[in-house]
A and B are shown apart, each in its own frame.
Chain A
């Protein structure tokens, strides 16, 4: 019994990580209908960026991420403004092709720069610290922080979306591109800010990815797959839905692993397929569109 309960708790915590992977993807798709196939690789890229900042300045990853965030915001802004805006239009294929290409470029670029060795972010004792809950169950501090970070990030993004002028501009642009321009919204710049914001989310995701496990230049596409599944399970366009989607995925994986360790990944995918069959629009689809 304890084992099952443990699987559920660990699954929810793991879901926090998947929600972090997925939040940036959900944000970008929600605002500009851009499916970013390089999202997973961007998380890995950000993890190396944090590693670099931490290594050079001798900082803890938690401090390094604060420095990496503005840098990544600018990289995201420029990437969108200079490259990705050119791919957006009525045709869905160009952004898919370009971000797919970007994914390959990032993977090989990282391979060139950092070699294929697997790396991790180290933050001392906190990595292995845990809080005993009694009954033989304990939760790791890092997994708990991951879930809390995911919740905090979604609260933060929702505040931006629903309480600020730029958030109104995001929603208006997503509703009606043409009329948004009539409001004086410069669509290209608004999308670039959105991508910058997504890169901030990516930075936080990268921090917890690197604290929890090893990473190397090739693991991006698998993170993308989990992120996609979380977004689709939760329903497109809803960030809280994305968190729920991440938790469903995390639960399926830990419960699957509890049944048989070989089933961990498979169970996640099966849960995803089941949701697609039962609720094709996800658990919490946005009311519109």
Chain B
């Protein structure tokens, strides 16, 4: 049984339909990347899993348990954490408080503690008492990832963690990925940067206008296939 599965997942913003029947799976220990153009429904997909957008119960299945209709606060307790697009740290909280609030709802025993997150991103320890608004973009992204890890998630959902960052900073953040995976999390990445996505992912799903346009292992996919799946032909 897959760790996470979406079955015929459809999502709406009011009358606007953003996803049209998405079927995906995530196995234990796997890293899956979702790629696609702007507006393809990638972020919507993550929000639907995380419970920020709700649908029929059996459209999202975690460990055999239907969770598509659960609220976000419940889903994080089940071990699914989202690193939201644009970081969205809490400006009224210090760096350390942002990390601490990560396990507010889910106090699961696991590898991730404040010290372990600081070991992963030492710069956060130096800035632990700073306001998050004084951090650089890369540091903010580290804090956002650390905040999600604090709940010791079984599944880490990452929405555009490379957005707006310099290549060297992106390399630093993706450099943490092996440790995150080794600690036991399965990962779903939404990524604009196809090269980066292909490098870290075991499997790739490409979205186009709310539908799946391509699935496969990075090494099995050709540049032309991806181009077509990305932009349509």
Contact = CB atoms under 8 A, between A and B. Distances in A.
Instruction: Decide whether A and B are members of one complex.
Output: yes
Contacts of A174: 92
Interface string B77-94: 100011010001011110
A178 B51 CA distance: 10
B37 interface: no
Nearest to A189: B73
Contacts of B77: 184
Interface in A167-189: 168-169, 171-172, 174-176, 178-187
Interface residues of B, number: 26
B71 interface: yes
B50 A182 contact: yes
Interface string B97-111: 100111111100000
Nearest to A187: B73
Q: Which of B72, B82, B97, B151 has the largest count of A CB atoms less than 10 A from its CB?
A: B72
Nearest to B77: A184
A196 to B, nearest CB: 18
Interface in B52-81: 52, 71-73, 76-77, 81
Contacts of A181: 51-52, 71-73, 76
A184 B97 contact: no
Given A182-B81, A184-B151, A185-B105, A171 B76 contact: no
Question: How extensive is the interface on chain A, given as a class?
Answer: 10 to 19
Given A182-B81, A184-B151, A172 B92 contact: yes
Q: Which of A181, A183, A187 has the largest count of B CB atoms less than 10 A from its CB?
A: A183
A178 B52 contact: yes
A183 B88 contact: no
B150 to A, nearest CB: 9
B52 A172 contact: no
A165 interface: yes
A175 B73 contact: no
A288 interface: yes
Interface in A138-188: 165, 168-169, 171-172, 174-176, 178-187
Given A171-B92, A172-B90, A172-B92, A184 B105 contact: yes
B106 A184 contact: yes
B104 A182 contact: no
Nearest to A237: B92
Contacts of A183: 73, 76, 101-102, 104-105, 147, 151
A276 B71 CA distance: 41
Given A165-B100, A184-B151, A186-B73, A179 B88 contact: yes
B37 to A, nearest CB: 24
A175 B52 contact: no
Nearest to B82: A182
Contact of A185 (B52, B73, B84, B91): B73
B104 A168 contact: yes
A143 B92 CA distance: 34
Nearest to A286: B92
A83 to B, nearest CB: 20
A179 B72 CA distance: 9
Nearest to A184: B105
Nearest to B144: A179
Interface of A: 165, 168-169, 171-172, 174-176, 178-187, 288
Interface of B: 50-52, 71-73, 76-77, 81-82, 84, 88, 90-93, 97, 100-106, 147, 151
18 contacts: A165-B101, A172-B90, A172-B101, A176-B88, A178-B72, A179-B84, A179-B88, A181-B71, A182-B52, A183-B73, A183-B76, A183-B104, A184-B104, A184-B106, A185-B73, A185-B104, A185-B105, A288-B91
Given A168-B104, A183-B101, 6 more contacts: A165-B101, A168-B101, A175-B90, A178-B72, A179-B84, A186-B105
Lowest 10 A-B CB distances belong to which pairs?
A: A184-B105, A181-B72, A171-B92, A184-B76, A175-B90, A172-B90, A186-B73, A179-B88, A183-B104, A168-B101
